[in-house]
Amino acid sequence: MSREEQVTQLTDYMAKFIAHVAKKLPDDVIAKLQELREKEDSPLSKTIYDTMFRNQELAVALNRPSCQDTGVLQFWVKCGTKFPLIDDLEALLKEAVVKATFEAPLRHNSVETFDEYNTGKNVGKGTPTVFWDIVPNSDKCEIYTYMAGGGCTLPGKAMVLMPGEGYEGVTKFVLDVMTSYGLNACPPLLVGVGVATSVETAALLSKKALMRPIGSHNDNERAAKMETLLEDGINAIGLGPQGMGGKYSVMGVNIENTARHPSAIGVAVNVGCWSHRRGHIVFDKDLNYTITTHSGVEL
Ligand code: SF4
């Protein structure tokens, strides 16, 4: 295959993958929603979950996005320096988004700030967003595709705490965000928390945390314990499915962290809704692909 043919092939794969992610939830999200449906007692909660599952069936049967808000596309790319198409990747991801916008189709969600017009193609200045991790001596490329919907993006918040506020301060910050804005984001939620030094490092980690599978835990056992405690605390708010009340408000809490300055605690929250559309695909140098988030997909 020539380089041009490879670029066309990868663009096509990514356009199809984006369209699939828009229509079918990842396996871990479906399993968690089924688990929560069983654990809720109230008929209203069960009916809401049943409606979510019916919505999913219809999205696949009618070949339509599972939520009308297909979000702003964000890609977390972990790319080897020896991946043959590394130089073309950012441009081809943009092209794949345009292709998916018309073929899937996706809602037009890219409005140029200050000029205030919708580009109609889901691409604009800086959109889709591409976050890069470069991996030395590798010829593979991993791509997380994420659809950042409006409702689930709204609760996002980051700040730097005084050092004396400690982990109690982190907990208070997360619970304040959840009690004020959690309702807007179509619960049950996947809550991503970043703990680092500054607002931007914490904010990036809080979104990256949403790429982790539901049920996974931070490698640090204290951080993992905090994930469980926060999960219990947010469940106790009683948001329930779609905020209509229930025993479970979240699908999980994922914390990502780095070391920090001793005088500052950067903390951030990002939220994924019940329709948590993220997909993970890995390409080798010959563009053979493996999809880890969705079973039984052929692009
Ligand atoms: S929060 Fe999620 S499920 Fe609710 S409207 Fe937005 S994208 Fe759709």
Model pLDDT for residues 70-79, shown as the tens digit of each residue = 999 999 999 9
- Give the pLDDT confidence of 227-278 residue by residue, as tens digits: 999 999 999 999 999 999 999 999 999 999 999 999 999 999 999 999 999 9
Please provide the average confidence, as pLDDT, over all residues in the chain.
Answer: 97
pLDDT (0 to 100) of residue 14: 98
- Does the beta carbon of 152 sit less than 6 angstroms from any atom of ligand 1? yes
Give dist(CA 148, CA 190) in Å, integer: 13
Cα(244) to centroid of ligand 1, in Å? Answer: 15
For residue 296, give the amino acid letter: G
Ligand 1 centroid from CA 18, angstroms:
17
- Give me the pLDDT at residue 161, please: 98
Instruction: List the strands of the sheet with 278-283, edge to edge.
Output: 129-135, 72-80, 141-148, 278-283, 289-291
Does 69 contact ligand 1 (Cβ within 6 A)?
Answer: yes
Strand-pair category, 117-118 with 111-112:
antiparallel
* Low-confidence residues in the chain, pLDDT < 70: none
* CA–CA dist 37, 54 (Å, integer): 13
pLDDT for 206? 98
Comparing C-alpha atoms, which of 295, 253, 280, 272 is closest to residue 69?
Answer: 272
CA of 196 to the centre of ligand 1 (A): 28
HSE (side-chain half, CA atoms, 13 Å) at 126? 3
C-alpha triplet 166, 211, 209: angle, nearest 5°:
5
The answer to whether 82 touches 105, Cβ cutoff 8 Å, is: no
**Whether residue 185 has its Cβ less than 6 Å from ligand 1:** yes
User: What local confidence, expressed as pLDDT, does residue 213 receive?
Assistant: 97
Count of other CB atoms within 10 angstroms of residue 60: 12
pLDDT reported for residue 220: 98
